[in-house]
């Protein structure tokens, strides 16, 4: 059968001032840039991205693949009208050109917001349906951080969401979505039961290597194996998004409506009961670095890793705040690395003076997105210069080639800072290795990442401390001035238990 494949992937932090413009989708970011038609298999195939898993599964079943277009940009503020219309147009026109199509697979994030559209993925699906007519099945894979709307779920014949954070199963999820699509192409149709939850879970508490999320996803997977259930999907939501449909949601697909509804109620109940297990309180910069220095004394040669979650560029952070760097210097941390600081001016200064030279630098905080945040001013020696071309080695990003622009490793006493021209979440050890640093040999590693770094660092770290330093990805969601949430939706309250009569 003939299957069209396309992807349009953006996680939008509506509190970020940086628009996701067309240029940001054209160039490579965390994932490859705009890729079209027959380039998609060679560029995306084999990567841990959903469409790669879908292509593989559909090819293995000997369907005729029509790859149309795929684009993604580093998480930031809303997608511009120009970017949305251009990429949606490429996808819709490309799909419309395939004669007598049998099915469509879409690789969507599920938390995209456009500058004048709070649910642009719904807009895309509605336009697609208008072109395809009612009968051609459309199935999507979605990120674990999707903010699902019931209208969007209803516009799809099926969907599958990631079950791991770090997202180790992006390709597997694409394959699962493709399997659903193949069932639909064979004539099956599913009832979808939708539930949304009343609380928002901060990203750092959503990880599946610690905390309650792993158990919830295991339960979903087990439910999905029950006879009659075609998929039991849970999206934990992307809270730095002021949209009506923000927050966790559940979708269960089944041939019989009652089966889907019952399973959706089960998952919703489990998640409600787990609210108090999502630990949300984090130390501030000074407490976190003091704790890291103390822990490093007993770390037996293994690194203490500090996660700068609130400035994670992978969640729309600017990548340029210096709350933890300031404390590393103030507390004279004996052997620490801070990565990855987005600071093009510091990079050019370092390249101008050259390796080995020392000078006063003003590092970070140039975007001034956090009130009171100021650059760190100190004398640094340029320890190393590099070209910022990095091939990821960890299990999540394996094989993806990044270009963060020129980089410079700067040193002040025991503290080294890796600065770059472009923003990127410091989630893969290749980022430090490209600057000549083996993270296993450093006492304290501070990473602008929330959870994805755990894919590699959890095994090597003596201790992981998640810190709340300045940034746009708040750990305490009560700090956001939300205006558009649905009535009744609120930030999580780890002190709340459903059995105490308050919920």
Quote the strand ranges of 80-161, DSSP E: 103-108, 138-142, 158-161
Q: Least distance (Å) from Zn ion to the CB of residue 144?
A: 5
Half-sphere exposure of 104 (CA within 13 A, CB side): 32
Nearer residue to Zn ion within complex by CB, 221 or 332: 221
305, β-bridge pairs: 445, 464
Q: Of these, 143, 343, 373, 428, which contacts Zn ion (CB under 5 A)?
A: 143
The C-alpha angle with vertex 448 and arms to 475 and 317, in degrees rounded to 5, equals 60
Strands of 2-9's sheet, edge to edge? 35-36, 64-72, 2-9, 103-108, 138-142, 158-161
CB of 149 vs Zn ion, minimal distance in Å: 17
Q: Which stretch binds Zn ion (CB under 5 A): 2-10, 139-147, 217-225, 488-496?
A: 139-147
User: Cβ closer to Zn ion: 224 or 239?
Assistant: 239
Q: How many residues bind Zn ion (CB under 5 A)?
A: 2
Would you say 108 and 88 are in contact if contact means Cβ atoms under 8 Å apart? Answer: no
Which range, of 72-80, 142-150, 200-208, 371-379, touches Zn ion by CB under 5 A? Answer: 142-150
Q: Does 163 bind Zn ion (CB under 5 A)?
A: no
Shortest gap between Cβ of 262 and Zn ion (angstroms)? 28
Residue 75 or 137: the one with the smaller Cβ distance to Zn ion is: 75
Q: Which residue is nearest to Zn ion (CB)?
A: 145
Two tokens, residue 185: 């192409």
Contact 11, 145 (CB under 8 A): yes
HSE-up of residue 272 (Cα within 13 Å, Cβ side): 18
> Any contact of residue 145 with Zn ion (CB under 5 A)?
yes
169 near Zn ion, rule: CB under 5 A: no
Q: Which helix (H) or strand (E) holds 419?
A: strand 415-420
Residue placing its CB nearer to Zn ion in the complex, 143 or 456: 143
Stretch that binds Zn ion, among 145-153, 244-252, 262-270, 456-464 (CB under 5 A): 145-153
Taking the least distance from each CB to Zn ion, the nearer of 120 and 323 is 120
Coil, strand, or helix at residue 219?
Answer: helix
Indicate the residue among 161 and 369 with the shorter CB distance to Zn ion: 161
Taking contact as CB under 5 A, which single stretch among the options 22-30, 78-86, 136-144, 386-394 is the one that binds Zn ion? 136-144
Length of the chain: 503
Closer residue to Zn ion (CB): 66 or 163: 163
CA distance 428 to 28: 16
| Interacting residues with Zn ion (CB under 5 A) | 143, 145
């Amino acid at each position: 059968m003939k299957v069209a494949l396309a992807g349009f992937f953006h996680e939008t932090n509506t509190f970020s001032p940086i628009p996701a413009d067309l240029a940001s989708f054209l160039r490579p970011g965390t994932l490859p840039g705009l890729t079209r038609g027959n380039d998609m298999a060679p560029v995306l195939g084999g990567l841990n991205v959903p469409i790669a898993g879908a292509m593989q599964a559909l090819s293995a079943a000997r369907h005729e693949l029509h790859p149309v277009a795929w684009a993604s940009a580093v998480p930031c503020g809303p997608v511009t009208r120009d970017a949305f219309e251009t990429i949606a147009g490429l996808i819709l026109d490309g799909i419309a050109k395939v004669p007598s199509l049998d099915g469509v697979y879409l690789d969507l994030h599920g938390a995209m917001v456009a500058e004048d559209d709070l649910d642009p993925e719904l807009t895309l699906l509605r336009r697609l349906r208008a072109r395809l007519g009612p009968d051609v099945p459309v199935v999507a894979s979605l990120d674990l951080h999707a903010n699902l709307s019931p209208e969007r779920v209803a516009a799809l014949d099926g969907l599958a969401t990631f079950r791991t954070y770090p997202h180790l199963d992006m390709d597997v999820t694409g394959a699962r979505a493709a399997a659903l699509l193949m069932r639909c192409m064979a004539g099956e149709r599913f009832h979808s039961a939708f539930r949304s939850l009343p609380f928002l879970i901060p990203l750092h508490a959503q990880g599946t290597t610690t905390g309650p999320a792993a158990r919830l996803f295991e339960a979903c997977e087990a439910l999905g194996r029950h006879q009659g259930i075609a998929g039991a999907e849970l999206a934990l939501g992307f809270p730095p998004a002021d949209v009506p449909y923000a927050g966790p949601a559940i979708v269960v697909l089944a041939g019989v409506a009652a089966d889907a509804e019952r399973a959706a109620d089960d998952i919703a109940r489990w998640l409600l009961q787990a609210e108090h297990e999502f630990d949300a309180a984090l130390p501030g910069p000074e407490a976190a670095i003091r704790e890291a220095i103390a822990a490093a004394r007993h770390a037996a040669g293994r690194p203490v890793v500090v996660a700068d979650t609130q400035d994670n560029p992978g969640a729309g952070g600017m990548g340029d705040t210096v709350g933890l760097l300031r404390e590393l210097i103030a507390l004279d941390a004996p052997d620490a690395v801070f990565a990855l600081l987005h600071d093009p001016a510091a990079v050019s200064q370092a390249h101008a003076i050259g390796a080995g030279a020392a000078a006063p630098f003003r590092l970070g905080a140039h975007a001034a997105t956090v009130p009171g945040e100021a650059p760190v001013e100190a004398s640094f020696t340029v320890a190393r210069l590099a070209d910022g071309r990095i091939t990821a080695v960890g299990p999540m990003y394996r094989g993806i080639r990044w270009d963060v622009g020129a980089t410079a490793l700067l040193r002040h006493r025991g503290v080294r800072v890796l600065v770059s021209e472009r923003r990127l979440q410091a989630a893969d050890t290749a980022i430090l290795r490209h600057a000549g640093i083996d993270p296993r040999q450093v006492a304290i590693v501070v990473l602008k990442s929330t959870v994805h770094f755990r894919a590699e660092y959890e095994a090597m770290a003596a201790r992981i401390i998640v810190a709340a330093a300045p940034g746009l990805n708040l750990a305490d969601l009560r700090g956001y001035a939300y205006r558009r949430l649905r009535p009744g939706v609120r930030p999580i309250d780890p002190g709340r238990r459903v059995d105490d009569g308050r919920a």
